[in-house]
């Protein structure tokens, strides 16, 4: 069955350009030009990934992202205007898994769509394992994370980031390595992406995110999962 991609943008030319590029690669593509239509489309037939423009009439992309996250962990790639660093960070904080700035190359967008989808595919047997650090348990087979008796919901990138840290506990992982292994492609050195996801992850797995027990910042280098 073809993977379904929902593309949301109020510019008809971009919708058609992205639709053509994705359909040429074998994806089933649905389009929407505003936030309300996008949410209705997703509710009636959920997609495997959403490409979501930030600037939309009515409900903007941030609100749509927030509402999608309330009902699904579907991967989301946010489209933003060049230079809107604050919006990029806010989009990531709301649960977007990736972002691209306009104007963008359709080929690069397709590559990022494929990379994000690969991250949500079932792992091979070598990676299908249960990891435990302190009270955190990560079950890669069931895509499930618990802290003590409490199950927590993680977006796909958050899950992969936690898995990477837990699998290499005690080792310092620099931001560039995390970008390569978790995001799966050259992210042009935008290490702020890693920092935003670590903040979100701490808010979900740490009792006191301001004084983390598990995910340690190694200043000037990266992050380490402490051997608790």
Q: Is the residue at 50 inside a domain?
A: yes
- Give the per-residue pLDDT at 187: 53
Cα atoms found within 13 Å of the Cα of residue 140, Cβ hemisphere only: 21
On the question of pLDDT at 194 being above 60, the answer is yes
Quick one: residue 14, left, alpha or beta (phi over 0 = left, psi -120 to 50 = alpha)? Answer: alpha
Q: How many domains does the chain have?
A: 2
- Give the per-residue pLDDT at 122: 52
Q: Are residues 134 and 93 in the same domain?
A: no
Are 21 and 109 in contact, with CB atoms under 8 Å apart? yes
On the question of pLDDT at 161 being above 70, the answer is yes
Q: Are residues 10 and 95 in the same domain?
A: yes
Q: Are residues 73 and 97 in the same domain?
A: yes
Q: What's the mean pLDDT in 14-32?
A: 94
User: Using alpha carbons only, how large is the chain's radius of gyration in Å?
Assistant: 18
pLDDT band at 83 (very low <50, low <70, confident <90, very high): low
pLDDT band at 215 (very low <50, low <70, confident <90, very high): very high
87 SS3 class: helix
On the question of pLDDT at 162 being above 50, the answer is yes
- Residues 187 and 77: their CA atoms lie apart, in Å, by 13
Higher pLDDT, 160 or 128: 160
Q: Are residues 140 and 35 in the same domain?
A: no
Range of the domain at 61: 4-120
Q: The domain that contains 108 carries what CATH number?
A: 3.40.50.2300
On the question of pLDDT at 186 being above 60, the answer is no
Q: Is the residue at 202 inside a domain?
A: yes
On the question of pLDDT at 14 being above 70, the answer is yes
Task: Give tens-digit pLDDT for 40-76.
Answer: 999 988 899 999 998 898 899 889 998 998 888 889 9
- C-alpha angle 165-98-197 in degrees, rounded to nearest 5: 35
Residue that the structure tokens 């069955």 belong to: 1
- Give the per-residue pLDDT at 156: 86
Task: Give tens-digit pLDDT for 84-140.
Answer: 667 667 777 777 888 888 888 899 899 989 888 877 665 443 444 889 999 999 998
- Residues 190 and 209: their CA atoms lie apart, in Å, by 23
Q: Are residues 12 and 85 in the same domain?
A: yes
| Among the ranges given (146-155, 175-184, 213-222), the one the predictor scored with the smallest mean pLDDT | 175-184
């Amino acid at each position: 069955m073809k993977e379904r991609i929902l593309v949301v943008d109020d510019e008809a030319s971009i919708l058609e350009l992205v639709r053509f590029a994705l359909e040429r690669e074998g994806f089933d593509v649905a389009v929407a030009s505003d936030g309300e239509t996008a949410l209705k489309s997703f509710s009636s037939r959920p997609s495997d990934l959403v490409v979501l423009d930030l600037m939309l009439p009515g409900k903007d992309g941030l609100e749509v992202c927030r509402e999608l996250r309330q009902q699904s962990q579907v991967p989301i790639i946010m489209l933003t205007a060049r230079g809107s660093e604050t919006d990029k960070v806010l989009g990531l904080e709301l649960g977007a898994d990736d972002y691209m700035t306009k104007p963008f190359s359709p080929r690069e967008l397709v590559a990022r769509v494929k990379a994000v989808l690969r991250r949500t595919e079932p792992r091979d047997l070598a990676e299908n394992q249960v990891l435990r650090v302190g009270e955190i348990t990560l079950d890669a087979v069931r895509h499930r994370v618990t802290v003590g008796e409490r199950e927590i919901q993680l977006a796909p990138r958050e899950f992969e980031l936690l898995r990477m840290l837990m699998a290499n506990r005690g080792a310092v992982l620099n931001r560039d390595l995390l970008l390569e292994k978790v995001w799966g492609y050259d992210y042009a050195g935008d290490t702020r992406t890693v920092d935003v996801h670590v903040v979100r992850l701490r808010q979900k797995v740490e009792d006191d995110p301001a004084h983390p027990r598990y995910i340690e910042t190694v200043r000037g280098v990266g992050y380490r999962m402490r051997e608790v």
